[in-house]
Amino acid sequence: MADPTKRIANWDAGYDTAAIKAKVDKKRADMLARVQAQFPAIASMEGQVKQVLDLAGATVIEYAYYLSFARELWSMTHEREMSGEAAAVEAETLIVKWVARGLTRSVLETIRTGVFNIAPPSSP
């Protein structure tokens, strides 16, 4: 049997809290600036999604799931900067996933198109 001592030592060295704090302290100002730039736009997007859900008559318990779908679209379009047909195909894949989890396709499509301005894929 392999000796786990080396793995444990590597883990312990990698999670030295003083070293982690020093790294985070160096990056904190930039991290805060990015948060201040992104959070208002994310909050606005979530507000638009909630309007779609209100109009669709979604239950309160479903909000979290639809917002998770919307955050995946946000990540795809803003963090990975995906657009065009690639975004359309990826959004369709996400729709299929969330329909399989019990959400309504038409509501997901409305979020995709109405909030994110992503057209349906050109080929099925």
Looking at residue 124, its pLDDT comes to: 61
| Domain segments of the chain as ranges | 35-115
List the CATH code of the domain at 35-115. 1.20.58
Looking at residue 81, its pLDDT comes to: 87
CA distance 52 to 60: 13
Looking at residue 27, its pLDDT comes to: 96
Output the tens digit of pLDDT for each of the chain's 124 residues.
Answer: 688 999 999 888 888 899 899 999 999 999 999 999 999 999 999 999 999 999 999 999 999 999 999 999 999 998 888 899 999 999 999 999 999 999 999 999 999 999 999 999 997 6
